[in-house]
Amino acid sequence: MAITTCVFDAYGTLFDVAAAARQAAVEPGFEALRDTWPDLANQWRLKQLQYTWLRAVADAHCDFWDVTQDGLDWALEATGLQGDAELRQRLLDLYWELRAYPEVPQMLKTLKQGGLQTAILSNGSPPMLDGAVQSAGIGDVLDDVLSVESVSIFKPHAKVYDLVQDRFGCARDEVLFVSSNGWDAAGASGYGFVTAWVNRAGEPMDRLPWKPAHVLSDLTSIPELAGL
C-alpha cells in the first residue's frame, strides 16, 4: 500500500539533542564544559531515555521535562559538573531552542509538496515540542504534533503509535515512521508501520524481535522512501 503519512520522532531525529551542550561549551563562563560536552550530551540523552523506559514499566508516568531534568542532573554529576547552577540552567534553557538538522526543512517541504501528511510523534510534552518546532521554523510543514502526554505512557508502548491512526485515519502500512532511536524504529516496525532508522552515529542494530525496514545516515532520502 502507498505511503500517505510520514511521522517523525522529534529529539535526535528532527532536532539535534547535542546542540544544547555544544552551544553552552563555547559560551563565556562555561569553560569547564569545553572538553567534556560530548560526554555530557551522550550521558544526558542516555539517562533521559532510560528514565522513560523505567517509568513506563513501573507505571510511573511524568512529564518529559521532568525526565529531561533528571537525566541532566545525573549527567552533570557523572562528568564532575554538579553544583554549577548557572550551567545547569543554561543547558535547560538551550534545550527549548534545539536546532533542526540541516536537511530537515527542505525534506519536510518536499513531503508536503508531494501531498503527504506529516507529523511528529514524540515523548516530549506539548510545550517542549511547540518550543522546538517554533525555534526550528517548521510548523508550516507539519500537519500535527502528537505527544505521549495524551495517553500518559512513553514509547514504545502501542498506545503511543495508536495516536497516528487516531489522528489521520490511515492504515498502519500507509505510515512511514522515522526515528533516530533504533528501539523506537523497531517498536514501530512491530506495530506495523513502515520504518526508517536514522542511524547518524553508525551504531549497531538493537537486538530486538523487530527491525526497521530502512537504515539511513540522514533524512535526505525520506521523500524517495515515501514514494515521491
Query: Taking a C-beta distance cutoff of 8 angstroms, is the pair 225, 176 a contact?
Result: yes
**Grid cell for residue 123:** 515523548
Strand partners, 119: 7, 144
Q: Please identify which of the residues 9, 93, 143, 206 carries the catalytic annotation.
A: 9
H or E element in which residue 64 lies: helix 64-78
Residues recorded for the chain: 228
| Residue 73 annotated as catalytic | no
Torsion over CA: 66, 24, 40, 123 (sign): positive
Strand partners, 8: 120, 178
- In angstroms, the Cα distances linking 224 to 110, 170, 176, 220 are 10, 20, 11, 9
H or E element in which residue 6 lies: strand 5-8
Phi, psi of 92 (to 5 degrees): -65, -40
The residues that are catalytic are 9
